[in-house]
Each structure stands twice: as structure tokens, then as C-alpha cells.
Amino acid sequence: MRRIIIPVTLIVLVGGLTALVVVAGRNRRDRYDERQLMEQGRGFQYAMLTMLIYNLVEPLCELMVGRKFMDANVALWISACLGIVVFAVYCVIKDAYVTVKTSPWVQTFVMGLFSVTYTVSAFLRLDGGLIKDGMLTVDCANFALAADFVIIFLTLLIKTLRDRRRRE
């Protein structure tokens, strides 16, 4: 029972805070400018290229070694996580992640909440271990997604701090 209460509480807390941020920002009608949309398009291209390369290299490595490293669902999740993190990091670096009128601190705060929540949740969901019969299990997918959130959060934080120093 205790094991269920903590994740549910975290999910409700983060969901409630996210809903507050979304409702508070709804009145501003923030939009991306043309340059940001162009950079997002490039980010999509890099993300798809990353996923394509991963989906070519991973099976080739398995064929060369002669054994599977992970379950097919885990490989799918890791591919998606790689694409997400490449897109998000590229957009953050190119100032295309946050709309023009939105404070980057709000996005950084929300991503920090997601990072902490999903990392704790990944540890709480850990059932049978990360490796079973010499292959990565589905529990690795939770940690891959948690790593995505942490990488995006750190990128947002560093970018926001650098931009603040440049303005001063």
C-alpha cells in the first residue's frame, strides 16, 4: 500500500502544478516566431536522423555479436528517448524551445519537477532488476525517460543561466 501512495502523490502533485502553469499561461497567447519554427523543423530532422541511425546500428551490433542486448520494446523506447532528447536539446540551444513571451524559468521549473518525479518513479517501479537473462529489461526504459528529463532540465537550466548573465 505504501509503495502505491508515494507515486500517486507525486503524480497528483506534478499534474496539479503543471495544470496551474498551463492555466496561468493560457491568457497570453504565446506563439513561436518564424525563426523558432524553422529551428524546430531542423530539430525534428536531427531527431529523426538520430533515431534512424540508432535503429540501424543497434540490430547490426546484435548481429555482429550474435546475441540480443535488449527486448524489442526496450529498443523502441530507447530509440524514442534518443529522438526526444536530441530534439529538445537542439531547440533549447537554438532558443526555439520556449515561446517568445514565456519566461524560461517557468519551463525550467516544470522540467525540474518532471525530472525529480520521474526519476523517483523509475526507482519505485524497479521490480525485477535492470538485466534479466543477459538482456536489458523494460525497467531500463523508465530510467531512459528519466535521463531524458534530467538532460533536458540541465540544458534548460544552463541556457537560462547563461542568457541571464549575458543580459546583465
Model confidence over 52-85: pLDDT tens digits?
999 999 999 999 988 888 888 888 889 999 999 9
DSSP 135: E
Q: Give residue 48's identity as a one-letter amino acid code.
A: M
How does pLDDT run across 13-38, given as a tens digit for each residue? 777 776 666 666 555 556 788 888 89
Q: Output the pTM of the full model.
A: 0.78
Extents of the domains making up the chain:
2-6+33-163
Per-residue pLDDT tens digits for 106-147: 889 889 998 998 898 888 877 777 878 878 888 888 888 899
C-alpha 121/C-alpha 145 separation (Å) is 11
User: What is the phi-psi region of residue 135: left when phi exceeds 0, alpha when psi lies from -120 to 50, beta otherwise?
Assistant: beta
Contacts of 127 (CB under 8 A, 6+ apart): 139
